[in-house]
Structure 1
Amino acid sequence: MSFPDVQKPARDEPPFQKADWPFYWITQVSARYYQLMEKSLKPMGLDVAQWRVLMSLYEGDALSISEIADFCIIKLNTTTKIIQRMTAEGLVTCRPRKTDGRVTEVLITDKGNRLRRQGRSVANGIFERSFASLGGEDIRMLNHMLEQVFHNLDAD
């Protein structure tokens, strides 16, 4: 069996090293964080999507399903299924929004809040491990730079 020759970049193409590409590191860090969170949350009976939902509800009194989907970066129909599963497990409750009955609001329950606190403890441990070699100012600068990149990528 013969294999095709490896294609080399054209001579007029600028050199490329993945380690010099910030998006390489962003995706690597994100994937590693996701793997660690998934492994750590599983014994609690949570997955990363449920953890994101619980954390989104921690910051506000009640959110609509579409607000949760935006916050968690999950498709709306997937978010709806997650919320239904979490409702059945007693982690959240749903109600119509007082100002617009067509909108379903989601609220965290005491059980959901207990799991959120446990998950937060796990996440804090991963955070400490991840940023052990960086100081507070480094973390603030990193957050600021990532926020700038995020806004630069805003859709028109």
Structure 2
Amino acid sequence: MKTSRRPQQLEQAIPFLLTRAGGRMGNALAKALKPFGLSLSEWRVCASLLYVPLQTLSELSAHATSDISALSRIIDRLEGQELVRREKSATDGRSIRVVLTEKGEELTLSIMPLAKRHEAVVLRDFAASDVQVLRAMLIKLYENAEALDDLP
């Protein structure tokens, strides 16, 4: 008797599940950010710069998960709102670093409780130990995904 091999169900595939959960959370946060005049991508840049100031575009691209060309436009918009500024690197005159302005830092800090509330809602039924495990697993998934860049 020959057994047919069925591919893994889409609803069980980790990339599908991550994208679906991330999309739902991102859409909800994007809606909540509208009164602040920020898109989700702009928020990610501001939040990233709050935690790691003075990032180069390459660093910011990886940290805020945005490709360089889109990131340049995001930085332009945030600069136009006086939320960030570009600075020449103190160590490498050719390198540009992005930093939050005082206005950008104040706005980002004022949004942080909203972002934390959104996180608390999606984690409400998780034990604290499960949240720690989930964070560790997501970090490991991200690190392991670097190997995908080398696949043909």
Aligned twin of 1:65: 57
After superposition, the C-alpha distances for 1:103-156 in whole angstroms (9 at most, x for unaligned) are 111111111112111221111111111000012110011112222222332224
| Aligned match for 1:52, one of 37, 44, 47 | 44
Distance 1:102 1:127, change over 3 A: same
Q: Which amino acid aligns with 2:15?
A: F
After superposition, the C-alpha distances for 1:38-70 in whole angstroms (9 at most, x for unaligned) are 100011101111111111111123111221111
Max Rg structure: 1
1:42 aligns with 2:50: no
| Aligned match for 1:121, one of 113, 117, 129 | 113
| Aligned match for 2:18, one of 12, 21, 26 | 26
| Structure 2 stretches lacking a partner, 5+ long | none
Give the match's secondary structure for 1:153: helix
Distance 1:16 1:95, change over 3 A: closer
Could you list the structure 1 runs, at least 4 aligned residues long, displaced by more than 6 angstroms after superposition: none
Alignment of 1:3-152 (within 5 A): 12-14=4-6, 16-152=8-144
Aligned twin of 1:4: none
Give me the CA root mean square deviation: 1.6
Distance 2:63 2:85 in 1: 18
Distance 2:131 2:84 in 1: 32
Distance 1:152 1:69 in 2: 18
Q: TM-score, normalised by structure 2?
A: 0.88
Deviation of 1:15 after TM superposition, in Å, equals 5.3
Identical aligned pairs, as a percentage? 27
Aligned residue pair count: 146
Distance 1:16 1:106 in 2: 43
Distance 2:7 2:80 in 1: 53
Deviation of 1:19 after TM superposition, in Å, equals 3.1
| Structure 1 stretches lacking a partner, 5+ long | 1-10
